């Protein structure tokens, strides 16, 4: 469905057409590989629980907040990440926070938590603003007829930020090559048919040679950084230094090189691409909503008055956060998650046998007819403080929920707010007339084929 405008509902941004009934199996599998959110039927956005099978696998689409709480919090120990997701992510991310389970995940979480305390995050804010101001000057100097891909620009900007916050004291290292390798790897990450229909693990899965080469390049750079840092007298206060200095408060053990590598790869993906896609979609939405943009500019003029944004401004930029939260509602970067029941379970009258896959889709929940008014419209007022206070828990899940809620949530929100505030204070971005943009669900929910825009200095 292409973008549309309505006087009553506001701007209706692009989303894939919703089918009246489930697609035939072969078409469903093909669409799942190409764009997972293109498989959804209309009733997925209207019903709270849907039970079905995909090949040999029993599935439950969980749109009920209480079922989501049950799976992700109350009985989380019985639900592990789905094998398909782990097989897709582990080659690149290893056994980091995103892919580990059980006692190993708890140990990692204990060790990572001090790194993401607010006092640490405040120290990274100046880096976020500095790189944003550099980009603002570069974009404002472009000719008015020049087209720039804002999705690509946001990727490059967040790459600069995560590289500096992760490896800041290793000046001269071509960390951008890590981002390029990660991007090439992700382009090869697609679910295989044997995975999707639940065939046994011994059935061969095709491997992407390009993805393996990209991983090898990424590992060579990260492992080199780890070794050079270990040889220094001072580990540094960037994320790499903090990881190397981290100790388990129960055992006193440190992370070995492989564990450090896996956490760095995880932070790189989660701290780079997710924020970039949120910002890209925000520019797309603002381009079609001049009234929202005007209200955003008014807040920036009042709070900042032309000066650079700082960490202290975060709590004052209320409407800026509302705009970003609404962008994540419509286009959540982490669009789908799945959990597999390890033992027999029950939710009300519904039996959940072992091996059942429970699908939790923030993309669906954020547009569900039962929980949102005008759910397909762009309306930052959904996140006005008084309205947000009345919202039912587990209907808004941009960072997940339960014990495994994203540990970098605070980092991501500070980064997104400071970047948007810095850039929007200096410029406007307008989608090129006639450009067609659609959300495509890979590892994250990206605008495809890109986001061609013209820049107007304020």
- Measured distance CA(306)–CA(336) in Å, rounded: 39
Residue 7: band (very low, low, confident or very high) from pLDDT cuts 50, 70, 90? very low
Considering 56-70, 200-214, 218-232, 257-271, the range whose residues carry the highest mean pLDDT is 56-70
What are φ and ψ of residue 287, in 5° steps? -60, -30
Tell me, what DSSP letter sits at residue 377? S
Region 248-271: mean pLDDT is 87
Phi, psi angle pair for 11, to nearest 5°:
-70, 130
Rounded average pLDDT over 275-282: 97
Apex 183 CA angle, 419 and 97, nearest 5: 75
Which stretch of 1-5, 12-16, 221-225, 273-277 has the lowest confidence by average pLDDT? Answer: 1-5
Q: What is the C-alpha separation between 100 and 51, in angstroms, rounded?
A: 28
* pLDDT (0 to 100) of residue 6: 43
pLDDT at residue 50 is higher than 70: yes
pLDDT of amino acid 2:
58
Size of the chain, expressed as the number of residues it contains: 458
Place of tokens 């762009």: 378
Q: What percent of the chain has pLDDT over 70?
A: 92
- pLDDT tier for residue 165 given thresholds of 50, 70 and 90: confident
Average pLDDT score over residue span 391-409: 93
- What is the average per-residue pLDDT within 364-373? 96
The sheet carrying 452-457 orders its strands as 148-149, 452-457, 427-431
Q: Which of 21, 5, 39 is nearest to 440 (CA)?
A: 39
Structural domains of the chain, with CATH:
4-429 (1.10.630.10)
Residue ranges of E strands in 63-168: 79-81, 148-149
CA distance 411 to 117: 9
Whether cis (ω within 30° of 0) applies to the bond prior to 183 is: no
Count other Cβ atoms within 10 Å, centred on residue 257: 13
How far, in Å, CA of 200 to CA of 353, rounded? 18
According to DSSP, residue 59 is labeled E
* Closest of 265, 303, 268 to residue 420, by C-alpha: 303
Angstrom distance (rounded) from CA 47 to CA 411: 34
Q: Which residues on neighbouring strands pair with residue 391, listed in sequence order?
A: none
Highest mean pLDDT among 239-248, 257-266, 351-360: 351-360
Question: Containing H/E element for 109?
Answer: helix 102-112
Burial class from Cβ neighbours inside 10 Å (0-12, 13-18, 19+) for residue 200 reads: exposed
Nearest alpha-carbon partner for 3 in 285, 283, 333: 285
Give the span between the Cα atoms of 144 and 434, in whole angstroms.
17
Question: Among 322, 328, 335, 327, which residue's Cα sits nearest to residue 284?
Answer: 327
Model confidence pLDDT, tens digit, residues 111-150: 988 888 888 888 899 999 999 999 999 999 999 889 999 9
Sequence-separated (6 or more) residues with CB below 8 Å from residue 430:
287, 453, 454, 456
For residues 227 and 324, which has the higher predicted lDDT (pLDDT)?
Answer: 324
Q: Tell me the binding residues.
A: 406
Helices 176-188 & 83-93, crossing angle to 10 degrees? 150
Residue 277 near residue 437 (C-beta atoms within 8 A): no
State both tokens at 250.
């129960």
Residue ranges at the known binding site for heme: 406
Q: Give yes or no for a contact between 432 and 147, defined as CB atoms under 8 angstroms apart.
A: yes
Predicted local confidence at residue 8, as pLDDT: 40
Residue 169 pLDDT grade (very low, low, confident, very high; cuts 50, 70, 90): low
pTM: 0.91
Q: How far apart are CA 455 and CA 128, in angstroms?
A: 21
Whether the predicted pLDDT of 22 surpasses 90: no
Average pLDDT of span 347-366? 96
What is the reported pLDDT for 192?
66
Residue 347 confidence (pLDDT) above 90: yes
Question: Which residues lie closer than 8 Å to 251 by C-beta, 6 or more apart?
Answer: none
| Arithmetic mean of pLDDT over the chain | 88
Token pair 């929980």: residue: 371
């Amino acid at each position: 469905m292409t973008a549309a405008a309505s006087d009553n509902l506001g701007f209706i941004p692009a989303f894939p057409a919703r089918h009246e009934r489930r697609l035939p199996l072969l078409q469903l599998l093909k669409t799942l590989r190409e764009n997972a959110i293109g498989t959804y039927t209309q009733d997925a956005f209207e019903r709270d629980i849907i039970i079905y099978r995909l090949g040999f696998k029993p599935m439950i689409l969980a749109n009920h907040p209480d079922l989501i709480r049950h799976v992700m919090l109350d009985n989380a120990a019985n639900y592990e990440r789905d094998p398909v997701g782990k097989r897709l992510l582990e080659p690149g991310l290893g056994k980091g926070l995103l892919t580990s389970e059980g006692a190993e995940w708890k140990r990692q979480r204990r060790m990572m938590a001090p790194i993401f305390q607010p006092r640490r995050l405040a120290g990274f804010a100046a880096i976020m603003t500095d790189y944003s101001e550099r980009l603002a000057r570069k974009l404002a100097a472009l000719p008015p007829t020049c087209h720039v891909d804002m999705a690509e620009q946001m990727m490059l900007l967040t790459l600069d930020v995560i590289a500096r916050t992760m490896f800041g004291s290793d000046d001269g290292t071509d960390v951008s090559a890590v981002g390029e390798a990660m991007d090439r790897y992700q382009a090869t990450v697609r679910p295989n048919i044997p995975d999707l229909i639940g065939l046994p693990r011994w059935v061969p899965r095709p491997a992407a040679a390009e993805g393996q080469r990209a991983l090898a390049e990424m590992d060579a750079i990260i492992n080199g950084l780890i070794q050079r840092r270990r040889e220094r007298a001072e580990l540094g206060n960037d994320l790499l230094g903090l990881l190397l200095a981290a100790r388990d408060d129960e055992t006193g053990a440190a992370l070995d090189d492989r564990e450090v590598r896996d956490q760095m790869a995880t932070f790189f993906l989660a701290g780079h691409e997710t924020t970039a896609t949120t910002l890209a979609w925000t520019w797309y939405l603002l381009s079609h909503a001049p009234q929202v943009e005007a209200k955003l500019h008014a807040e920036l003029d009042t709070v900042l008055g032309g000066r650079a944004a700082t960490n202290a401004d975060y709590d004052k930029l209320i409407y800026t956060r509302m705009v970003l939260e609404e962008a994540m509602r419509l286009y959540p970067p982490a669009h789908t998650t799945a959990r597999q029941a390890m033992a027999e379970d029950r939710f009300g009258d519904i039996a959940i046998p072992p091996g059942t896959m429970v699908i939790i889709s923030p993309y669906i929940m954020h547009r569900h007819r039962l929980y949102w008014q005008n759910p397909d419209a762009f309306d930052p007022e959904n996140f006005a403080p008084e309205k947000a206070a009345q919202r039912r828990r587990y209907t808004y899940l941009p960072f997940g929920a339960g014990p495994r809620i994203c540990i970098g949530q605070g980092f991501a929100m500070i980064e997104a707010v400071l970047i948007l505030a810095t850039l929007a204070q200096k410029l406007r971005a307008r989608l090129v007339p006639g450009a067609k943009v659609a959300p495509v669900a890979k590892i994250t929910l990206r605008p495809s084929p890109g986001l061609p825009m013209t820049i107007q200095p304020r």
